[in-house]
């Protein structure tokens, strides 16, 4: 049985890995077509086509070419399609098609979709996949209608409709792609646009397991907080706490910085927007290149944490952070078990959370060193805080956030390649990629007497 389940895990990881690679390859080929570039724009280099396709499919938002100026409506449509595929989950769409064609799903297909949606059972897969599709379509449609209404008088009707549709999908999928070279800076004082985008980002970042859990309790008219699963409570409390921390720290550090001279409402709105989008969405209403070093460092920490499992966001996940926080609190109080909301978190969950955070950190450090090496002598000589900029870029790519201090387009081909690998790792998850590339059968491991090292 262990060998069988191991095979399934390897199969699902490899299926996800190679499906994303295939989608990126197809997207890059389409973006390289003459029809995908705007009139009078130079041809798209191969590395830029691959980078843009990876950023869109992995819902990151880092760009090396202007989405508005360098791409035609066809090219923008390809980018939007890749964002939707990456955000909804290629595996979700594939499973729905398999159901429609074959009528039933195999055990392996059920394992694939279960891992993609972050659920613990393989039963009712078709219904769950359809529910995901409904949630996505409803959220993006509502977001589109609200954005269109809020910006209707800003330009021609067709342009407003296209921008509203593009930004609604990009916001819900936590992609950060925008039809503007300055992201959403033009709307920094628009309360409606800011709140609509924040709402879409939050719903997409909570994760489908949390959304389904809330809907289930509401539909049954059960006491909401009492009946929610522990994971949902961890996510809701963690998200609220991180939002408050991000906003308060941004106001405190930038009140006399980038926020200086702006009206009070605009200052408060910028802090809320920054706190909401910096963990995974990648939109911005301020120039990140002008932020203080302290703000950038705290933003790096928030980007690393990211959104929730089974969501459209990245990072090593809010629930992972909360699990480690609960365990740290239990250890500090001298308790043997990590308890939360009248539940005990299993040791295996704590071990997985620890491994996830450590692997994320190790990959980020390795990528940072590689980026510093390949860009040594170029950007390092031009930017006074190059180390912080490079770290910010690596975490933004690995966390599939998409924020940048302005160095992405100036990177060399090796530098862009490093970010491409980071974006793919961040979207699939380092553990998934490791399983996909590992041996299908684990090697024999000897069992020795236990001996405890000194820790701490």
Cα 45 from chain centre: 26
Give the per-residue pLDDT at 14.
67
Q: Is the pLDDT of residue 97 over 70?
A: no
Higher pLDDT, 55 or 86: 55
Task: Give residue-wise pLDDT tens across range 188-237.
Answer: 999 999 999 999 999 988 888 888 888 888 888 888 888 888 888 999 99
> Is 124 within the bounds of a domain?
yes
> Is 445 within the bounds of a domain?
no
The whole-angstrom separation of Cα 444 and Cα 258 is 58
The whole-angstrom separation of Cα 91 and Cα 258 is 42
Task: Give residue-wise pLDDT tens across range 238-274.
Answer: 999 999 999 999 999 999 999 998 999 999 999 999 9
Task: Give residue-wise pLDDT tens across range 114-160.
Answer: 555 545 554 556 677 778 888 889 999 999 999 999 999 888 899 99
> Is 191 within the bounds of a domain?
yes
> Is 446 within the bounds of a domain?
no
Q: How many domains does the chain have?
A: 1
Give the per-residue pLDDT at 273.
94
DSSP codes of every residue in 121-186: --TTHHHHHHHHHHHHHHHHHHHHHHHHHHTTTSS-HHHHHHHHHHHHHHHHTT----SSTTTTGG
> Is 123 within the bounds of a domain?
yes
Mean pLDDT, residues 373-394 taken together:
84
Helix (H) or strand (E) run with residue 314 in it: none
3-state secondary structure of 403: coil
> Is 140 within the bounds of a domain?
yes
> Is 156 within the bounds of a domain?
yes
> Is 197 within the bounds of a domain?
yes
Q: How many residues does the chain have?
A: 456
Tokens representing residue 154 in the block: 């800003």
Give the per-residue pLDDT at 94.
52
Q: Residues of the chain with pLDDT > 90: what percent?
A: 45
Query: Residue 341 sits in which domain range?
Result: 2-437
**DSSP type of residue 312:** S
Give the per-residue pLDDT at 5.
40
Q: What is the pTM of this model?
A: 0.87
CA dihedral 195, 196, 202, 204 (to 10 degrees): -170
Residue 40 region, left (φ>0) first, then alpha (ψ -120 to 50), else beta?
left
Average predicted confidence (pLDDT) for the chain: 84
The whole-angstrom separation of Cα 224 and Cα 213 is 9
């Amino acid at each position: 049985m262990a060998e069988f389940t191991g095979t399934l895990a390897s199969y699902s990881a490899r299926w996800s890995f190679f499906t994303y690679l295939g989608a990126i390859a197809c997207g890059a080929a389409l973006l390289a077509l003459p029809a995908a570039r705007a009139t009078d724009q130079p041809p798209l280099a191969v590395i830029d086509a691959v980078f843009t396709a990876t950023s869109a499919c992995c819902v990151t938002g880092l760009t090396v070419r202007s989405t508005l100026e360098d791409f035609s409506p066809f090219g923008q449509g390809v980018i939007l399609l890749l964002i939707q595929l990456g955000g909804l989950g290629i595996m979700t769409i594939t499973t729905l098609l398999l159901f429609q064609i074959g009528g039933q799903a195999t055990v392996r297909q059920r394992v694939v979709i279960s891992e993609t949606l972050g659920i613990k059972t393989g039963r009712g897969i078709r219904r769950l996949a359809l529910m995901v599709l409904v949630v996505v379509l409803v959220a993006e449609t509502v977001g589109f209608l609200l954005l269109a209404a809020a910006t209707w008088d800003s330009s021609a009707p067709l342009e407003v409709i296209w921008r509203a549709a593009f930004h609604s999908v990009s916001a819900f999928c936590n992609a950060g792609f925008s039809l503007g070279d300055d992201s959403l800076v033009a709307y920094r004082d628009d309360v409606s646009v800011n709140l609509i985008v924040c709402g879409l980002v939050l719903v997409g970042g909570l994760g489908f397991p949390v959304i389904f859990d809330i809907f289930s309790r509401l539909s049954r008219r059960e006491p909401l907080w009492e009946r929610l699963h522990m994971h949902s409570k961890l996510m809701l409390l963690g998200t609220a706490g991180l939002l408050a921390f991000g906003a308060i720290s941004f106001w405190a550090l930038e009140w006399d910085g980038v926020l200086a001279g702006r009206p009070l409402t605009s200052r408060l709105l910028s802090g809320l927007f920054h706190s909401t989008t910096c963990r995974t969405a990648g939109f911005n209403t301020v120039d990140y290149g002008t932020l203080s070093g302290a703000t950038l460092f705290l933003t790096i920490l928030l980007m690393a944490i990211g959104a929730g499992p089974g969501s459209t966001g990245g990072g090593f996940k809010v629930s992972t952070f909360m699990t480690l926080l609960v365990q740290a609190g239990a250890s500090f109080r001298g308790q043997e078990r990590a308890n939360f909301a009248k539940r005990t978190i299993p040791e295996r969950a704590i071990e997985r959370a620890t491994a996830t955070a450590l692997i994320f950190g190790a990959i980020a450090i390795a990528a940072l060193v590689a980026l510093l090496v390949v860009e040594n002598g170029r950007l390092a000589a031009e930017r006074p805080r190059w180390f912080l900029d490079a770290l910010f870029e690596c975490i933004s790519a690995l966390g599939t956030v998409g924020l940048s201090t302005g160095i992405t387009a100036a990177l060399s081909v090796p530098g862009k390649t490093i970010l491409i690998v980071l974006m793919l790792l961040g979207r699939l998850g380092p553990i998934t990629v490791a399983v996909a590339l590992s041996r299908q059968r684990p090697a024999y491991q000897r069992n020795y007497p236990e001996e405890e090292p000194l820790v701490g």
